[in-house]
Structure 1
């Protein structure tokens, strides 16, 4: 990349990323309310990780999300209270627990996710398939670099 254009290019990336994050926060509020009316908006990402992993230890999930165990534990307590998440003893370490979605949590999450994916599909339906693939690949690369 030409160094003369780098500052303008980075400013454009910053602008678009800021707009994406702003819209993402708004969408998270909407999707969280679809899962459960009392769900905090940032819990959708937590539910996504739980849906992907089937069962995961609290310490492992906290490390993946980059948050403290105390913060995650408070969020999990709230999700348990809503009947969306359960803790079960870890069969490999009885001092630890594994977290997973309840059947109700899976059902509610899948319904909300379906709605969210339909919106994504609507947005990119006119894009060439290659552009959608590149967009996903570049987002993954960006997120991996942050981690």
Structure 2
């Protein structure tokens, strides 16, 4: 278990460093929220809090930072103009696309010598690990 803990910590450290390379003022949590907002084609801050099991004040601070950077904007919900929906700006979408391209290139470089069987096994283990990590939690993302 010590090796697993150490290696997952190293993985998380690399993820934080990668987020910082995308933009020096973009913490990993904010990057994750921005990616979710884009993936959902817009969502409310309360949806982010529920999905990631975060306090609303934490999400509020992260969203404020994303707005300040020009990566997110608020728009009235089409069905209820009292509610605001978060959407990525063009710049936010560009930042995510650049990060995705860079991340994919890094994964391809890191895994280039792995066999197809090793890659399939690794993918299966990651799915199993991440599914087990959210099973039974409220608002678990569907798999």
- TM-score between both structures, scaled by the size of structure 1: 0.78
For residue 146 of structure 1, report the CA deviation from its aligned partner: 2.0
3-state DSSP of counterpart to 1:56: coil
Structure number with larger C-alpha Rg: 1
Runs of 4+ in 1 over 3 A off after TM superposition: none
For residue 76 of structure 1, report the CA deviation from its aligned partner: 0.9
1:16 aligns with 2:3: no
Unpaired runs of at least 5, structure 1: 1-9
The aligned residue for residue 137 of structure 2 is none
For residue 134 of structure 1, report the CA deviation from its aligned partner: 2.7
1:19 and 1:78, CA in 2 relative to 1: closer, same or farther beyond 3 A?
Answer: closer
3-state DSSP of counterpart to 1:54: coil
Q: Between 76-85 and 129-138, report the one with greater CA deviation.
A: 129-138
The aligned residue for residue 74 of structure 1 is 61
Give me the CA root mean square deviation.
1.9
Conserved? CA contact 2:72–2:86, under 8 Å: yes
The aligned residue for residue 107 of structure 2 is 120
Structure 2: distance between partners of 1:23 and 1:112: 13
Structure 2: distance between partners of 1:57 and 1:145: 27
- TM-score between both structures, scaled by the size of structure 2: 0.80
The aligned residue for residue 90 of structure 2 is 103
**What whole-Å deviation, never above 9, does each CA across 1:14-66 have from its counterpart, x for those lacking one?**
232222223333333223x2xxx432343221222122111112111111122
**What whole-Å deviation, never above 9, does each CA across 1:47-103 have from its counterpart, x for those lacking one?**
221221111121111111221112111211111122110111122333322111111
Mapping 1:13-92, distance limit 5 Å: 13-31=4-22, 33=23, 37-92=24-79
